[in-house]
């Protein structure tokens, strides 16, 4: 009986925050007065997902990363450039963007993670600055500071448009 009670307590402690988050995610569209608020909430979920990655790196591994946003940018631009410039399927680009960001993270991370303390922080900061400079400077590919036009994502004939749809996609990804 003691082991069962302990397991039950551990499961409750692990899943209660997820249940609370899921309930909050369901309530936000009901309480949001406009699509603007849904767009802001979708951005909150996106940044929360990036923060989870930082939690793993900084909280559990004890490493300092100041260039985390560079990998988010690499994945995002891969998803945008693939369909707009190369004519690839947007769903394929979602996977390719994640694989590309992961491969670059592995390639850059191997030598950088041998550094400690301030040196690690400066190296990751430098990587983030380099990514930002490349994304801004390569205007023919990325659109530079003006950005680029990207076609709407469609999934099995369903076109991803509107703040509510993006809200549900981002909240599902975070959950």
Adjacent-strand bridge partners of 154: 159
* Structure confidence at residue 7 as a pLDDT band (50, 70, 90): low
Question: 66-92, pLDDT tens digit by residue?
Answer: 888 898 899 989 989 988 888 888 888
Q: Among 172, 171, 169, 165, which Cα is nearest to 35's?
A: 165
Whether residue 25 is predicted with pLDDT greater than 80 in this model: the reply is yes
How far is it, in rounded angstroms, from Cα 68 to Cα 163?
Answer: 26
pLDDT tens-place string over residues 91-139: 888 899 999 999 999 999 899 888 888 888 899 899 999 999 999 999 8
Reported pTM: 0.72
Contact at 8 Å (CB) between 124 and 67? yes
Break the chain into its structural domains and give their ranges.
63-159
CA 155, 161, 167, 168 dihedral sign is negative
Whole-number pLDDT of residue 40: 94
């Amino acid at each position: 009986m003691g082991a069962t009670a302990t397991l039950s307590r551990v499961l409750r402690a692990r899943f209660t925050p997820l249940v609370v988050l899921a309930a909050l995610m369901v309530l936000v569209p009901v309480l949001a007065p406009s699509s603007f608020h849904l767009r802001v909430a979708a951005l909150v979920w996106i940044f929360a997902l990036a923060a989870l990655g930082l939690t793993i790196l900084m909280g559990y591994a004890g490493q300092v990363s100041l260039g985390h946003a560079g990998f988010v940018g690499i994945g995002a631009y891969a998803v945008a450039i693939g369909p707009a410039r190369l004519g690839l399927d947007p769903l394929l680009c979602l996977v390719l963007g994640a694989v590309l960001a992961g491969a670059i993270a592995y390639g850059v991370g191997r030598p950088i993670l041998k550094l400690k303390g301030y040196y690690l922080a400066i190296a990751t900061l430098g990587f983030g600055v380099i990514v930002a400079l490349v994304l801004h400077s390569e205007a023919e590919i990325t659109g530079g500071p003006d950005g680029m036009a990207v076609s709407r994502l469609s999934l099995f004939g369903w076109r991803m448009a509107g703040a509510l749809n993006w809200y549900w996609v981002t909240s599902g990804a975070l959950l």
